[in-house]
């Protein structure tokens, strides 16, 4: 499902699709003469030209320094121009060379491209006296408190006033300053991270009041104490202590209090479910399903679940594998004809590649697709004009890139093998055996009464529905509708082997490319062991489903606000640990 385009997180874990055709494959390249020294220097972020990384050698390791907050990280060479860090194996660096065999860029975490800038020289830090440093610190702290006051209430005009009074005109024109109340319910200063008095710069960690989520605030002032640089982005803080409870009852009381705070501060609209094995522990609903008519959400309200449909598609494929109707190493040319893609592509791509997002096919989202009104595409065959292409972004199996196109093609494979419409197949073989009563694709023009419209927050604090924002009425890649209860029932059926065998589940939950992704399922390791599930997101759409494989906990959060479910799902996952 299409991702929300308004994402400003630095080195984000959220997936951002880049034009990989401009980036050379790094797998076969080596450093040659000069070794690691060739990698040293400054690299500019291709999306935000004001952000730089510095790479330098520290013994046999490569040291990364983020110039905006002075944070550092050490990397070990894996092979050729590929590096990773012991602290986070998923944090990868892949350097590339130009036609003259010179290092010209680095790809961070498989998605963010930074271009080498031999001409860049950071401004020297001015030496200040102790008294001058104290004045700079006081000025920075004053700006931090002014920003906190501006975003601690649901009034965008206060942030506008802060920007007008405290930010230079140049910065006002080039960069929007985010209003993070809807992400936090208000924030408080947690700690100062960086203080660079000679650069008149500070970095501060802000803690959300409701969900204890964190944002980094970076500020640089000019001589007149006006803000000349400012960045605010969400971060994970692994050292923040996890809340401990005496028993499950105490934990549920804390969850109830948080849910009520979410409702009271109006930073969440949707439904929440927490269960353990076959017992539902907590359910909650709040907010408006349809704002124009003031219809409220209830526990059975249907929400757009975005990319979560990928779980159903992958499970359906494994059912057909178990029946001997297809093999994971089959080239998709056995099922996909040339009306979709040329055989020069389909002969190279296998079912495994589509399931694991390692095909190199990319995405059908683009300018032409974005012009479609909601419901224009109702059958998988109608995706053909948006999936056609004559080349792959990389050799299948050598890299990873989230591919909605690949998931659409898996739906086509299901139709070919099962001799049945994809939507009918999943209804008969996934939804019904799981006891899912409401899950389906829906046409909003003829929508059932108990459906929630998605809403996109506007700059003035109002909401606009997303009813015309997508051409899809649901597909094998995403866009269907479901309830928290139905998604819980699906997780139970899957983990209890009612849909596929134990051996198929192992294949579904294997991280083939070391990207936290298996076959149609997102994966993560926690203190409770492996967590499986999926998220879904688009403007006005956010959904998560997490299940702890060993402990039997199930978390489902659905929302018709941007990114609201993701934060609450992560908060709940922290609670049960």
Closest CA to 508 of 488, 538, 534: 534
Domain at 465, CATH number: 3.40.710.10
Same structural domain, 148 and 102: no
Same structural domain, 95 and 137: no
What is the Cα gyration radius of the chain?
25
pLDDT in the model for residue 28: 39
Question: Does a structural domain hold residue 401?
Answer: yes
Q: Give the single-character DSSP code of 172.
A: H
> Cβ neighbours of residue 568 under 8 Å, at least 6 residues apart?
211, 262, 268, 272, 544, 557, 559
pLDDT in the model for residue 15: 30
Domain at 103, CATH number: 2.40.128.50
Q: How many domains does the chain have?
A: 3
| Pairing verdict, β 481-482 and 112-116 | unpaired
**What is the token pair recorded at 256?**
């109830």
Same structural domain, 445 and 537: yes
Same structural domain, 31 and 136: no
Q: How many CB atoms lie within 10 A of CB 346?
A: 19
Same structural domain, 366 and 497: yes
Q: Which of 203, 219, 235 is the last residue of a domain?
A: 235
Question: Does a structural domain hold residue 561?
Answer: yes
Distance in angstroms (rounded) separating the CA atoms of residues 402 and 203: 32
Domain residues for the domain of 43 are 20-116
Question: Does a structural domain hold residue 80?
Answer: yes
Distance in angstroms (rounded) separating the CA atoms of residues 315 and 459: 40
Same structural domain, 105 and 142: no
Same structural domain, 70 and 106: yes
Same structural domain, 87 and 153: no
pLDDT in the model for residue 244: 84
Distance in angstroms (rounded) separating the CA atoms of residues 490 and 508: 15
**What is the token pair recorded at 384?**
């053909």
Same structural domain, 137 and 166: yes
Question: Does a structural domain hold residue 430?
Answer: yes
Distance in angstroms (rounded) separating the CA atoms of residues 150 and 159: 5
Question: Does a structural domain hold residue 4?
Answer: no
**What is the token pair recorded at 260?**
């009520």
pLDDT in the model for residue 283: 98
- Burial, 58: exposed, middle or buried (Cβ in 10 Å; 0-12, 13-18, 19+)? exposed
Helices 130-151, 156-166: crossing angle, 10 deg rounding = 150
Question: Does a structural domain hold residue 56?
Answer: yes
Same structural domain, 368 and 426: yes
pTM of the model: 0.80
Q: Give the single-character DSSP code of 323.
A: T
DSSP for 398-460, written as a single string: S-----HHHHHHHHHHHHHHHTS-HHHHHIIIIIHHHT-SS-B---GGG--TTBPPPEEE-TT
Same structural domain, 312 and 358: yes
Closest CA to 328 of 352, 311, 308, 304: 352
Asked whether the beta carbons of 542 and 565 are under 8 A apart, the reply is: yes
Helices (H), 75-210: 130-151, 156-166, 169-174, 181-184
Question: Does a structural domain hold residue 274?
Answer: no
CA geometry: angle 483, 374, 389, nearest 5 deg: 105
Pick out the chain residues at pLDDT < 50.
1-28
Q: How far is CA 139 from the centre of its chain?
A: 35
Q: Which of 182, 206, 235 is the last residue of a domain?
A: 235
> Cβ neighbours of residue 337 under 8 Å, at least 6 residues apart?
none
Same structural domain, 341 and 195: no
Closest CA to 207 of 186, 230, 192: 186
- pLDDT 10s digits, 503-534: 999 999 999 998 899 999 999 988 888 999 99
DSSP for 19-69, written as a single string: -GGGS---TT----TTGGGGG-EEEEESS-TT-EEEEEEETTEEEEEETTT
Question: Among positive and negative, which fits the CA dihedral 516, 518, 524, 527?
Answer: negative
Q: Which of 57, 89, 116 is the last residue of a domain?
A: 116
Q: E strand or H helix at 160, and its extent? A: helix 156-166
Helices 564-576, 248-265: crossing angle, 10 deg rounding = 160
Question: Does a structural domain hold residue 125?
Answer: no
Distances in Å between the Cα of 86 and the Cα atoms of 59, 75, 484 are: 16, 7, 37
């Amino acid at each position: 499902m299409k991702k929300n385009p308004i994402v400003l997180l630095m080195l984000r874990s959220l997936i951002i699709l880049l034009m990989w055709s401009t980036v050379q494959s790094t797998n076969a390249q080596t450093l040659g003469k000069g070794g690691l020294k060739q990698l040293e220097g400054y690299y500019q972020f291709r999306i935000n030209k004001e952000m730089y990384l510095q790479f330098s050698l520290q013994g046999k390791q490569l040291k990364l320094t983020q110039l905006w907050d002075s944070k550092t990280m050490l990397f070990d060479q894996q092979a050729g121009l590929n590096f990773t860090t012991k602290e986070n194996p998923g944090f990868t660096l892949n350097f590339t060379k130009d036609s003259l065999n010179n290092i010209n860029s680095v790809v961070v975490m498989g998605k963010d491209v930074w271009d080498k800038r031999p001409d860049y020289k950071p401004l020297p830090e001015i030496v200040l006296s102790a008294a001058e440093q104290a004045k700079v610190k006081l000025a920075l702290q004053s700006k931090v408190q002014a920003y906190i006051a501006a975003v601690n209430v649901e009034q965008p005009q206060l942030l506008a006033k802060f920007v007008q009074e405290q930010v230079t005109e140049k910065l006002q024109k080039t960069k929007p300053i985010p209003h993070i109340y809807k992400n936090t319910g208000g924030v408080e200063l947690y700690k100062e991270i960086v203080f660079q008095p000679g650069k008149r710069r500070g970095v501060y960690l802000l803690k959300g009041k409701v969900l204890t989520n964190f944002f980094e605030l970076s500020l640089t002032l000019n001589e007149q104490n006006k803000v000349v640089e400012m960045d605010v982005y969400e971060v994970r803080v692994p050292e923040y202590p996890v809340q401990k409870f005496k028993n499950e009852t105490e934990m549920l009381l804390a969850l109830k209090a948080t849910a009520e705070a979410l409702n009271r501060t109006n930073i969440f609209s949707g439904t929440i479910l927490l269960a353990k094995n076959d017992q539902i522990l907590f359910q909650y609903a709040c907010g408006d399903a349809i704002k124009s008519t003031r219809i409220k959400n209830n526990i059975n309200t249907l929400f757009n679940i975005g990319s979560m449909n990928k779980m159903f598609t992958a499970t359906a494929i494994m059912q057909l594998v178990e029946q001997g109707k297809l093999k994971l190493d089959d080239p998709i040319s056995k099922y996909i004809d040339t009306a979709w893609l040329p055989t020069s592509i389909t002969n190279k791509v296998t079912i495994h590649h589509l399931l694991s997002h390692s095909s190199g096919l990319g995405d059908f989202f683009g300018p032409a697709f974005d012009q479609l009104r909601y419901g224009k595409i109702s059958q998988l065959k109608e995706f053909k004009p948006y999936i056609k292409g004559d080349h792959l972004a990389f050799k299948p199996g050598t890299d990873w890139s989230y591919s909605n196109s690949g998931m659409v093609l898996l739906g086509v494979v299901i139709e070919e093998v099962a001799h049945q419409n994809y939507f009918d197949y999943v209804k008969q073989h996934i939804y019904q055996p799981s006891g899912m009563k409401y899950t389906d694709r829906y046409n909003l023009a003829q929508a059932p009464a108990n459906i929630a419209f998605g809403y996109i927050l506007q700059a003035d604090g109002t909401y606009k529905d997303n009813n015309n924002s997508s051409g899809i009425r649901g597909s094998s890649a995403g866009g269907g509708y479901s309830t928290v209860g139905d998604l819980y029932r699906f997780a139970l059926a899957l983990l209890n082997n009612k849909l596929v065998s134990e051996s198929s589940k192992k294949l579904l939950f294997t991280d083939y490319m070391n990207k936290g992704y298996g076959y149609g399922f997102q994966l993560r390791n926690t203190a409770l062991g492996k967590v499986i599930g999926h998220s879904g997101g688009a403007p006005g759409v956010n959904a998560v489903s997490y299940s702890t494989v060993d402990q039997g906990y199930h978390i489902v959060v659905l929302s018709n606000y941007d990114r609201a479910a993701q934060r609450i799902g992560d908060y709940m996952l922290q609670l049960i640990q």
